[in-house]
């Protein structure tokens, strides 16, 4: 397997990088409150979402990440907040759990750090294998917008931290390079590609939203927000 796209130099600026993203926290917290069982976060990062989830539910969150630096931040932040996180240095493509999960979620577009469709398929299949029959898998990802690509490609941007943006259109890839070093890439997918991944993994769509306030997904939405569950077999 190719490594996930994450440069440890990003860990030093992650708190600033992720600061504008706050709307997703209440969304994932609500899903966690509805889940009667183990909670798992993929690409847990510094615990930005997992800590509020643990605070709201009174339960530990199992979190996997391939970045030692991010897990160290998550451990410090959890201790400061007085909550318990079960942190694991692991690849989401090899996800394992101690007991089937009631909710597995992957916030902040982290599935888009997986470089190939095969990588995502492997992840979705592992998630499906780790879910309870009544469990849920939720995540969000950006919708590719050719207008934004034309506007941002090759541009230097100062927020949330100084960086440069490059679109590799033929590769479905965006490269983000921090001033002073550190590069991360994200690969976008179409709605049908996400639906294909859901299908081959034996999952089905419970809901698809266009915002974290649960507005319906439309042709003008800029974000895919999926809630899926194991496919229910027809009763004989």
pLDDT of residue 7: 81
- Tell me how far apart the alpha carbons of residues 93 and 127 are, in angstroms, rounded to a whole number: 9
- For the entire predicted model, the pTM comes to 0.96
Structural domains in the chain plus CATH codes: 8-144+190-230 (3.40.50.150)
Q: How far apart are CA 230 and CA 202, in angstroms?
A: 6
For 12-25, write each residue's pLDDT tens digit.
Answer: 899 999 999 999 99
SS3 35: coil
Helix ranges (DSSP H) in the chain: 14-18, 23-34, 50-57, 68-81, 117-130, 146-152, 191-200
Q: How much is the pLDDT for 228?
A: 98
pLDDT in tens, the chain (236 residues): 665 666 888 888 999 999 999 999 999 999 999 999 999 999 999 999 999 999 999 999 999 999 999 999 999 999 999 999 999 999 999 999 999 999 999 999 999 999 999 999 999 999 999 999 999 999 999 999 999 999 999 999 999 999 999 999 999 999 999 998 888 999 999 999 999 999 999 999 999 999 999 999 999 999 999 999 999 877 66
């Amino acid at each position: 397997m190719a490594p996930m796209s994450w440069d440890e130099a990003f860990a030093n600026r992650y708190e600033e990088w992720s600061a504008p993203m706050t709307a997703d926290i209440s969304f994932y917290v609500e899903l966690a409150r509805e889940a009667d069982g183990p909670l798992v976060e993929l690409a847990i990062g510094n615990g930005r979402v997992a800590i509020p989830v643990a605070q709201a539910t009174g339960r530990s969150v199992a979190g996997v990440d391939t970045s030692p630096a991010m897990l160290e931040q998550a451990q410090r932040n959890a201790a400061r907040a007085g909550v318990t996180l079960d942190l694991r240095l692991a690849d989401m493509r090899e996800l394992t759990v101690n007991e089937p999960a009631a909710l597995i979620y992957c916030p902040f577009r982290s599935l888009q750090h997986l470089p190939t469709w095969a990588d995502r398929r492997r992840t979705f299949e592992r998630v499906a294998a780790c879910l309870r029959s009544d469990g849920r898998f939720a995540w969000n990802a950006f919708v590719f917008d050719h207008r934004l690509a034309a506007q941002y490609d090759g541009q230097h941007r100062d927020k949330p931290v100084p960086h440069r943006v490059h679109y590799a259109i033929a590769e479905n890839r965006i490269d983000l390079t921090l001033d002073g070093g550190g590069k991360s890439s994200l690969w976008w997918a179409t709605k049908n590609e996400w639906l294909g991944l859901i299908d081959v993994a034996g999952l089905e769509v419970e809901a698809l939203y266009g915002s974290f306030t649960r507005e319906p997904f439309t042709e003008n939405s800029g974000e895919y927000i999926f809630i899926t569950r194991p496919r229910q077999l027809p009763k004989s």
